[in-house]
Structure 1
Amino acid sequence: MTNKYLNALWTSALALSASAVPAFAQKKVEEGKINIGAGAPSDVVRDLTIGTVVSVAIRVLVIVAAVLFFFWLVLGGIKWITSGGDKNKTEEARQQITAALVGLVVVFSAWAIAQLIKILFDVDLFNLQLSRPA
């Protein structure tokens, strides 16, 4: 029964994440010219560096991890509520809630450490500016 709900949740999340895609390909190109990436904003393509890719990846990982652990916590709460007093089910739900809370603490600790690094060493991991070696 839980797998049924998890499959529905994953399918819904996948459908929602794939549904809002911008249409950059609608920009007109002059006849006779080949303009690769014509619809994309020029500053996005020009300013794309390894630092920005890493920064975006870190942000996305932190957000996705926090959301997943939160949903894991909610599912553990639902398991606890629907356990009906069964000791095994209640213990399983308690372990799931504990694991979700530990996961949330780890994610927010990683975020706090990144903020501490930003303050102490002036290195913003969420907005990396990597330069090429001279």
Structure 2
Amino acid sequence: MNKLSKLALSIGSVPAWAFTTGIVLAAESVKVNPPKYSVVSVGALLSGLVSAAIIIAAILAFVYLVWGGLNWLTSGGDKTKTEEAQKRITSAIIGLAIVAASWALIQLIANVFGLNFQEGITIPEIQTNK
């Protein structure tokens, strides 16, 4: 057999191996409960994302506030460093105020529409006939 026919035979046998099956040892279907902290609905996912975003924003604003305070302490009386630290502290306080206001607005909207972000938002589903 020449090299070309060996190559054609080996390339041609690859699809044949792809369609062969071995012995399948299948078990009966087993019911698996969802994990304890899994997302079971879009509303629960949205609720978790909103809560996580507010917590992360508050932590970042607090870290920025501490960073500004440390910059002020280490400015050594330099006017430009002190002003920069004061701007950073002011920005952090404004950021905390925005986070607090957004949390209050979300709670107000939730109360008006009867939603509960701690338990997850219930989103109406379309009923289908089966």
What percent identity do the matched residue pairs reach? 35
Q: Whose helix proportion is higher, 1 or 2?
A: 1
Number of the residue aligned with 1:50: 42
Work out the CA distance in 1 between the residues paired with 2:91 and 2:58. 13
Q: Flag the 1:83–1:106 CA change in 2: closer, same or farther, 3 A.
A: same
- Comparing 63-72 and 113-122, the one that deviates more: 113-122
Task: Quote the RMSD (CA, aligned, Å).
Answer: 2.8
The whole-number CA distance in structure 2 between the counterparts of 1:44 and 1:85 is 51
Q: Which has the higher contact order (CA 8 A, sep 6+)?
A: 2
Q: Which runs of 4+ in 1 moved over 4 A?
A: 34-40
Which runs of 5 or more residues in structure 1 are unaligned? 1-30
**Residues matched between the structures, number:** 102
* Correspondence for 2:68: 76
Matches within 5 A, 1:74-113: 74-113=66-105
Larger C-alpha radius of gyration, 1 or 2? Answer: 2
Query: Is 2:123 aligned against 1:130?
Result: yes
* C-alpha distance in structure 2 between counterparts of 1:38 and 1:120, whole Å: 38
Structure 1 stretch displaced more, 32-41 or 120-129: 32-41
Alignment partner of 2:124: what SS? Answer: coil
The answer to whether the 8 Å contact 1:114/1:124 transfers is no
Q: Which runs of 5+ in 2 are unaligned?
A: 1-24
TM-score by length of 1: 0.65
Distance 1:90 1:35, change over 3 A: farther
Counterparts of 1:77 and 1:39, CA distance in 2: 49
In 2: Cα distance, 1:61 partner to 1:34 partner? 42
